[in-house]
Amino acid sequence: MPMRTAAFLYPWDVTGDPAAPELIAGLGVQQVTLAAAYHATRALTPRHPGHRIVTARHSAVYYPADPAHWAGSALRPAAQTWLPGDDPYGEAAGALTAAGLDVHSWVILAHNSRLGREHPDSTVRNAHGDHYPWAPCVARPEVRAYAVRLAAEAAVRPGTTGTELESCGWYGLEHPHAHDKIAGAPLGEYGRWLMSLCFCAVCERGYAEHGADPRGLRARVRELLAPAWEGRAVEGELSGVDAAAVAGWRDAAADTFQRETVAAVRERARERGLPHFRVLLHAHPAPRALGANAGVGPKAVLDHADGVVLPCTGGEQDRTAVLPPFAAHRRADTVLAANFQVVAGMGGSPGTLVDDAAHAASLGATELRLYHAGLATADDLALVRHALARLP
């Protein structure tokens, strides 16, 4: 039996386009992972009869949020205003289900620029005191409370049989921002990570609890970064004590964030009579990984989630780095989904999908994800259709 395959879609790829569900089903996929809560973006829609560009101006939910569910919450999701109707997710999910496809929700958690602009104290604050409005600090209790409510509500929508949680962990400096101008200094990988460390009041207390002096740690981070501002490479590292404190605090905070959000989804699914609702996390086994595929402990995350979606577009080296650490802790029903970019204009290689999938399977992948059917051209989709028909 071929590997189960899912394609990512936005609601606007389906709503207003009666041909879209059958087109996607005709690719040979069994599932669509459909955005229910998503960050700001500007997206191409190559086949839609009504538009070619959709501009989602801010992070939003694509269903009617329940006021009672959010009563008393300091942080709340915003509604979208760029698509007609109050439930484009529900409309799209219904059309896709009618075409014979399973629908799983796609929920973005710790990436929300509108929330950060409205609540700057809830965001990551770097060693120089700058806030990152796109990056809610996952160690903060109000952010965890927001994520728990959002995960529960956005994941378990009518007609939905599972969810994939993205940005379920630390976000940092890296962010595809409009007119980005941050590449002028040679920070390197370690420098970018140092620039991603949070020094809000909650995180400073956390570092102290793990044995570091927060003020001294902050000064040391700034000292390590100083050569980059002169045009030189970042040299040196945090001391053993400081490095252990940072890792201990951040790993614990991320693990708590992930466990609480997964538990909230499971509880909501049980309330809705869905005991087999699948919960996956977009993840990476590198502890310092930030952003959409946040760093997790492979054994720990597979103890409480049904599986992970892993970035596999970068070639054999990337797949070898991300799949085996999770495969070592896989149960019989664990999902290890290899995520491939299939939009050629965005660096994808839909023509090599058969070989790429075979290599991923040899490393432990059990399913495929295709990013992104709504952004792909007709030529891209033709290659995907041909590849999926050839999968063993």
Reported as half-sphere exposure (CB side, CA atoms, 13 A), residue 166 has a value of: 20
Torsions phi, psi for 130 (to 5 deg): -85, 135
What was the pLDDT predicted at 88? Answer: 98
| 152/179 Cα distance (integer angstroms) | 34
DSSP 77: P
Rg of the chain on CA atoms, in Å? 21
The stretches in the chain having pLDDT less than 50 are none
How many Cβ atoms sit within 10 Å of the Cβ of residue 12?
25
What was the pLDDT predicted at 1? Answer: 60
DSSP string, 28-52: T-SEEEEEEEE--EEEE-TT-SS-S
Residue given tokens 């921002």 in the structure block: 177
**Domain definitions of the chain by residue range:** 4-177+276-390
294: region left, alpha or beta (phi > 0 left; psi from -120 to 50 alpha)? beta
| 142/25 Cα distance (integer angstroms) | 40
Residue given tokens 């869905």 in the structure block: 274
For 30, counting Cβ atoms within 10 Å of its Cβ (0-12 exposed, 13-18 middle, 19+ buried), the class is middle
Provide the H-helix boundaries in the chain: 20-25, 88-98, 113-118, 141-155, 188-194, 201-209, 214-229, 240-271, 298-304, 316-327, 353-362, 378-390
| 150/37 Cα distance (integer angstroms) | 8
Torsions phi, psi for 338 (to 5 deg): -85, 120
What does the pLDDT look like over 268-303, one tens digit per residue?
999 999 999 999 999 999 999 999 999 999 999 999
What was the pLDDT predicted at 2? Answer: 74
CATH 2.40.170.20 corresponds to the domain 4-177+276-390: no
pTM of the model: 0.97
Say which residues have a Cβ less than 8 Å from residue 260's Cβ, sequence separation at least 6: 144, 147, 148
What does the pLDDT look like over 183-195, one tens digit per residue?
899 999 999 999 9
